[in-house]
Each structure stands twice: as structure tokens, then as C-alpha cells.
């Protein structure tokens, strides 16, 4: 609990300033505590997601709720990690060696494969959000997806080293083992809190994050071999973690819906 309290204040402001477009007064150093607070930023974003889902459900149902969540997410994050999805896809499609693929990924223009990956990502997020939100009393669980996405960032910052000219180089230096441990604790606390709100799905809340981290770890290793230590991989990994978490939750919700129909 003491470790969690230490993340509030300046560390949380620094993390918010780095991961969102929210106005944060002052300039705050992005040190170890700030990196450890990344999942806490995810929880802030996830809480807004849940509130938007609740509002959307009462306005027009699951589809409206899912669309509202995506719109709110873009307003908060500015689509920060979506750029990484497009650049990573373009880099993979270029089939260039790691020492030359950076030329493609740094190009401000989006390629055909990058555009297709971006559209696919948005469709997947929308469909999975709608599936979870449509399940009675399961909408609060979507708050876990942004938490998993930011934990993925801390894990990769700890285990990989971005290029020296990457914006992620500073956070990577601050991603110590202690920072990762605290980030895991924050994520576990978020999972427990979500499980308390949605007790029917409590086993899957923890499993969804664990599965997401396993998928991200495996995929990111492949991306690093193909693309080298590119910072865009971090953004793509965060989105992958969100989608994987939502996919596991959606699968669990589908089973719950089947149970409800037979009761």
C-alpha cells in the first residue's frame, strides 16, 4: 500500500503527461516511480472507458457504448499507440533487414499495410468492446484493457532497449526491476478491484492480463528480431495487450451469456 501511495502526485502527473494528451501542469521527470505508475494511468483511462460504456448503454446500447469508448480513448490518448501499430505493420511488410527498416518506420506517410492494420485494429477494438459491454453487468471489466496495455509497456521497456533516438529511451532507462514489480502490483490491485465489481467473471480478469502479457512477450520478441529495437513496437504491443485482454474477456462473456440463456 505504501508503494501505491508513492505513485500519486508527481510520478502520476509525469506518467499522464507522457501517455496521454491531458493537460498536466508543470514539467515532471519521468523517473522510476513514473514508469511504475504506467498501469495506474491505464486504470485512469479504463475508469473513463467504463463510465463511457455505462453512459453509452443508457443512450443506445452496446454498439453506441463501444463507439463512445473509442472516441473518449482517442480524446485522452490522442491515438498515441495507434501510430505504432501502423508503423510496425509497414516495417514488417517492407521485408528489409533490421538496420534499414527504420527508414520505413520513420516515414510520416502511412503505407497500405499500415492503413489496413490500423483499420483492422479499430474494428477489433470496437467489436470486442461491444461484445463485453453487451453482457449484463460485465461492462466494468473493460477497464482492465488499458491497464494491461500500460503494463505491457513497462515489461517491454524493462526487457528491451529502444534506439538511442527513440522517445522511449528515457523511460527504458527508468524501467528497473523495482519499477516493474510495482507496476505488477498496481495491475493486480486493479484486477482485484474489477473482480469485486464483476464477481461472476473474477477468474478471467486475472487470466486475461496474464494471457495478454504472454502474447505480447512472444510477439514482441519476433518484432524485435525483424525490426530491431524500434520504439513503435512499444505502441503496437500496448494495443495488442488491450485487444488480447478484451478478446479473453469477450470469450468469457459469451459463455456467461450462454449460461444466462439456459437459466
Residue-wise pLDDT tens digits, 34-50: 899 999 999 999 999 99
The span from the CA of 143 to the CA of 133, in Å, is 11
What stretches in the chain show pLDDT beneath 70? Answer: 1-8, 26-28, 162-169, 198-203, 253-263
Q: What secondary structure letter does DSSP report for 1?
A: -
Give the pLDDT score at 201: 61
Which class for 43: exposed (0-12), middle (13-18), buried (19 or more C-beta within 10 A)? buried
- In order of 48, 94, 149, 188, 228, the CA distances from 180 in angstroms are 24, 33, 14, 12, 23
Q: Model confidence over 233-252: pLDDT tens digits?
A: 899 999 999 999 999 998 87
Whether 28 contacts 13, CB under 8 Å:
yes
Domains contained in the chain, number: 1
Give the pLDDT score at 40: 94
Give the pLDDT score at 68: 97
The span from the CA of 235 to the CA of 107, in Å, is 16
Whether 125 contacts 70, CB under 8 Å:
yes
The span from the CA of 102 to the CA of 194, in Å, is 40
Query: 89 is in which domain, residue-wise?
Result: 2-262
Give the pLDDT score at 232: 83
Amino acid at each position: 500500500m505504501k508503494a501505491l501511495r508513492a505513485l500519486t502526485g508527481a510520478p502520476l502527473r509525469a506518467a499522464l503527461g507522457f501517455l496521454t494528451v491531458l493537460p498536466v501542469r508543470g514539467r515532471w521527470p519521468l523517473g522510476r516511480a513514473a514508469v511504475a505508475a504506467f498501469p495506474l494511468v491505464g486504470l485512469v483511462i479504463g475508469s473513463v472507458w467504463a463510465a463511457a460504456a455505462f453512459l453509452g448503454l443508457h443512450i443506445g446500447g452496446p454498439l453506441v457504448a463501444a463507439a463512445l469508448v473509442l472516441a473518449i480513448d482517442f480524446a485522452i490518448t490522442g491515438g498515441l499507440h495507434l501510430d505504432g501499430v501502423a508503423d510496425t505493420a509497414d516495417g514488417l511488410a517492407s521485408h528489409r533487414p533490421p538496420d534499414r527498416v527504420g527508414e520505413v518506420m520513420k516515414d510520416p506517410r502511412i503505407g497500405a499495410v499500415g492503413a489496413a492494420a490500423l483499420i483492422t485494429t479499430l474494428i477489433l477494438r470496437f467489436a470486442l468492446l461491444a461484445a463485453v459491454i453487451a453482457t449484463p453487468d460485465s461492462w466494468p471489466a473493460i477497464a482492465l484493457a488499458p491497464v494491461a496495455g500500460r503494463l505491457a509497456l513497462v515489461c517491454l521497456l524493462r526487457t528491451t532497449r529502444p534506439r538511442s533516438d527513440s522517445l522511449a529511451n528515457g523511460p527504458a532507462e527508468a524501467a528497473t526491476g523495482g519499477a516493474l514489480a510495482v507496476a505488477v502490483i498496481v495491475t493486480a490491485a486493479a484486477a482485484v478491484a474489477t473482480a469485486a465489481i464483476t464477481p461472476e467473471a473474477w477468474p478471467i480478469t486475472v487470466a486475461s492480463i496474464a494471457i495478454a502479457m504472454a502474447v505480447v512477450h512472444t510477439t514482441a520478441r519476433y518484432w524485435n528480431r525483424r525490426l530491431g529495437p524500434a520504439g513503435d513496437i512499444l505502441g503496437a504491443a500496448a494495443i495488442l495487450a488491450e485487444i488480447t485482454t478484451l478478446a479473453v474477456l469477450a470469450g468469457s462473456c459469451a459463455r456467461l451469456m450462454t449460461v444466462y440463456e439456459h437459466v
